[in-house]
Structure 1
């Protein structure tokens, strides 16, 4: 089989899922080093709660204005990269790859996206007991064929050596996409949309919620509300990218 794989790689060289460059010297990789290195990180200083950039680098504030005015239910949120919504026509960017994964129904892209996680996650295994992805409503899951958050959460759980639970929480109400909605509309759209279907799996446990993209945080905050109401000890959030 290894010899066959080498022949196939020679005849059909694997290409970077983001930019299309041939990956001749990177066996097993799905994204070239240039694309991975090209992701835009969240600038410092960052809010100690939501992880977003603070308004002023010279300020002594530890939290952003939104977290101070409306403290989220989750304890903290961390992300890997910045998600620019203006990059729609740039095929080599991480946002373009995420959109292709979600809306192009290309499940194979999920293996490429995990390479953007880098070597060191911005969360520690010692802080959590279980990893739970943001669930999809069954109608959207049926249409898409996979839950992109669950694919990402599986890799996060593997790296942290923590259990992954994809059924402890469900999306009980179908909601229109959050895209193009402002913060207040997003909050109303997802209100009471999630339910903990197996509270015995979260009671007293420190939960890490995983999603692909965080925009205003309304969705993950509603997930945190449901988990805390079911008895979770704490809830943190990890996303691959964040809209800023």
Structure 2
């Protein structure tokens, strides 16, 4: 297999999935995004809310939670992310947001492997804190249209790195919902209310669950997932996403 990969690389030189520049092999590792594109990722600003991981309004007040988490504490325990996601027209074709959109709406499943390169060498979550990794599920209609669940692809890589079991069927999306993109927080909450269900409570009961999704905006979707998991008996629920909209 290694020899075949070398032949294919010779015939079809690999290029960065984000910007398209040629990729040089690095000690036999199969990388899909160049170091320049990975370095361009915008990290979350400090200080951050200890609960949702979003930015705090003030570093002087000594607060550890943002105003939203203080007013409406989420059901999940903590949420952590890798990068900031800007939804602006100025996004360059090679940016992380552009790559995520290509993955979800361009129906390019191969981009999922490239997005894993943005996770870096060390995840902001620890394997010792969880028993199972569960991706945010897609409704069967959207799964049929897209052909894959982008959250499940990312969750598979997270589970592999943490050496934890991945469960893609413990939770289902029982109600089809319209896209959340143009909605504000209250509308998002209403849109996903009772949209998820735990298919077999025995698989989450007394277990520490890490929910994985590609992008978190207001947190309404993952919060609803956490609600049904806790109602089914999960010991606690945390959230990990590749990017966070601010």
Match of 2:96 among 63, 88, 94: 94
How far the C-alpha of 1:4 sits from its partner, in A, is 4.1
Counterpart residue number, 1:198: 200
Instruction: Give the alignment's Cα RMSD to 1 decimal.
Output: 1.1
In the TM superposition, what are the counterparts of 1:71-220 in structure 2 within 5 Å? 71-86=73-88, 89-220=91-222
2:244 aligns to what SS in structure 1?
strand
2-side partners of 1:154 and 1:124: how far apart?
A: 15
Of residues 3-12 and 208-217 in structure 1, the stretch that sits farther from structure 2 once superposed is 3-12
The TM-score with structure 1 as length reference comes to 0.97
Deviations 1:1-42 (A, max 9, x none): 544433332232110000001003445110000101110000
Q: Which residue of 2 aligns with 1:41?
A: 43
Partner of 2:229: 227
Displacement of 1:227 in angstroms is 0.2
SS of residue matched to 1:85:
coil
Partner of 2:69: 67
Range that drifts further, 212-221 or 4-13? 4-13
Aligned to 2:10: 10
Structure 1 position 101, deviation (Å): 0.3
Give ranges in structure 1 of 5+ residues lacking alignment: none
* Residue aligned with 2:180, SS: coil
Q: Give distance in 1, aligned partners of 2:5 and 2:209.
A: 40
* Post-superposition offset of 1:52: 0.4
CA distance in 2, matches of 1:194, 1:129: 21
Give the distance between the partners of 1:78 and 1:170, measured in 2 at CA: 23
- State the partner residue of 2:24: 24
Work out the CA distance in 1 between the residues paired with 2:203 and 2:133.
Answer: 11
Point out 4+ residue stretches in structure 1 off by more than 4 angstroms. none
24-33 vs 177-186, which deviates more? 24-33
Answer whether contact 2:91 2:97 (CA < 8 A) is retained: no
Q: Distance in 2 between matches of 1:111 and 1:68?
A: 37
| Inter-partner Cα distance in structure 1 for 2:138 and 2:90 | 24
Number of residue pairs aligned between Structure 1 and Structure 2:
244
Shift in alpha-carbon separation, 1:4–1:125, aligned structure 2, 3 A: closer
C-alpha distance in 1 between matches for 2:71 and 2:229: 22
Show structure 2 runs of 5+ residues with no match. Answer: none
Aligned partners of 2:213, 2:89: CA distance in 1, in Å?
20
**85-94 or 58-67: which moved more?**
85-94
